[in-house]
Amino acid sequence: MRLAPYGRVEDLTSCSVRVNDKAAVVGADGAWVAVVDLPEGEQRIHVAAKDAAEHIAEAELSITVRDQGMVAAPPEASSEMLSSDLSKAGTVMGRVTFEGTPPERLKVHITEPVCKPMHPDDNPLLSEDVVVGAGGALKNVVVRITKGLEGKRFPATAAGATIDQLGCQYVPHVLAMMPGTITVQNGDDTLHNVHSQSTLNKAFNKGQSGKGKKDTFSLKRAEVVKLTCDVHGWMNAYVVVCDNPCFAVSGDDGAFSFRAPPGTYTIEAWHEKLGTHTAEITVPEGGTVSQDFAFRYR
């Protein structure tokens, strides 16, 4: 059946809209209409809007096709969802610290002959479960928006995430990504076995016999996924899959920063051993909001 979905883009100027990858006609006021052919019944259509600066906003809509003619895209899809791009974004920034005496990082006892020379006694591999730097800077904390962006859709990041195995260590130890694919590669000339622990995502368990081997896995749902190696018991990493692009991982200096659309949100700081802290923030249009987090042993 020939249908003409229509809607309105409110927050984007001079944009193009595609419905099921066919160009729609867009008026100066943001009203758009497209013509698509769909079979009868429950159907999904995909709407993508792109502004002059190539910001893309997308929405999936469910419609019931009964007759030919006009069908309105639901208002949440035609306006709010399509405005969920980052063109008016502000910046969320802050610093994560550890309060109190930092725990000593334990030396990892490496039994693998290939990796041993890469961690000499004067520069040993240290446990990465709590990494505290100068001034109490806490590394490897994932800070992300957990409330306030529900129903918004963001395009997946174009390039998938990558995690390496180097010197019998996952690099990086903590990684945050949008739902999509992750490539795990072996930089060591020995066998590693990538084994994931997850609840919502399909688990993977794959041997990589030597240097240069790599595999790409799918992580479609937001959750924390732990990676371990079945060959080397000390190897582990955390992949935090976030359902929006508003996240960052604290660095050596404990600092983090990411961009977010204007609005009021709950943000969460997650640490693999020290738990989570949350805060309410309001991101001003084009401005900056600062939020620090302090962790301690409970």
Which residue, 19 or 235, is less far from Cu ion as judged by CB?
Answer: 235
Kindly write out the interface string for residues 203-242 of this chain, putting x where it contacts Cu ion by CB under 5 A and - elsewhere. --------------------------x-xx--x-------
Which residue, 48 or 115, is less far from Cu ion as judged by CB?
Answer: 115
Residues contacting Cu ion: total by CB under 5 A:
5
Which residue, 89 or 229, is less far from Cu ion as judged by CB?
Answer: 229
In DSSP terms, 4 is beta-bridged to: 70
DSSP 8-state symbol, 116:
G
- Nearest distance from C-beta of residue 110 to Cu ion, angstroms: 10
The dihedral formed by the CA atoms of 261, 158, 195 and 198, expressed in degrees to the nearest 10: 30
Question: How far is the C-alpha of 18 from the C-alpha of 147, rounded, in Å?
Answer: 29
Ranges within 252-281 binding Cu ion (CB under 5 A): none
Q: Which pair of tokens denotes residue 40?
A: 């009868």
Which residue, 152 or 195, is less far from Cu ion as judged by CB?
Answer: 195
- Nearest distance from C-beta of residue 257 to Cu ion, angstroms: 33
Which residue, 139 or 232, is less far from Cu ion as judged by CB?
Answer: 232
Q: What are phi and psi of 134, to 5 degrees?
A: -60, 140
Residue nearest to Cu ion (CB): 229
- Nearest distance from C-beta of residue 168 to Cu ion, angstroms: 6
Query: What's the first-to-final CA gap in the chain, in angstroms?
Result: 61
Which residue, 48 or 163, is less far from Cu ion as judged by CB?
Answer: 163
Kindly write out the interface string for residues 179-208 of this chain, putting x where it contacts Cu ion by CB under 5 A and - elsewhere. -------------x----------------
- Nearest distance from C-beta of residue 142 to Cu ion, angstroms: 23
The SS3 assignment for 60 reads strand
Which residue, 136 or 234, is less far from Cu ion as judged by CB?
Answer: 234
- Nearest distance from C-beta of residue 186 to Cu ion, angstroms: 8
- Nearest distance from C-beta of residue 231 to Cu ion, angstroms: 4
Taking Cα atoms as reference points, which of 76, 148, 132 lies closest to residue 274?
132
Residue type, 37: D
Taking Cα atoms as reference points, which of 92, 7, 2 lies closest to residue 58?
7
- Nearest distance from C-beta of residue 129 to Cu ion, angstroms: 17
62-69 own/partner pairs: CB under 8 Å, 24+ apart: 63/3, 63/5, 65/1, 65/3, 65/38, 65/39, 65/40, 65/41, 66/40, 67/1, 68/1, 68/2, 68/3, 69/3, 69/4
Question: How far is the C-alpha of 297 from the C-alpha of 103, rounded, in Å?
Answer: 10
Ranges within 46-65 binding Cu ion (CB under 5 A): none
Question: Which residues would be at the binding site for Cu ion (CB under 5 A)?
Answer: 192, 229, 231-232, 235
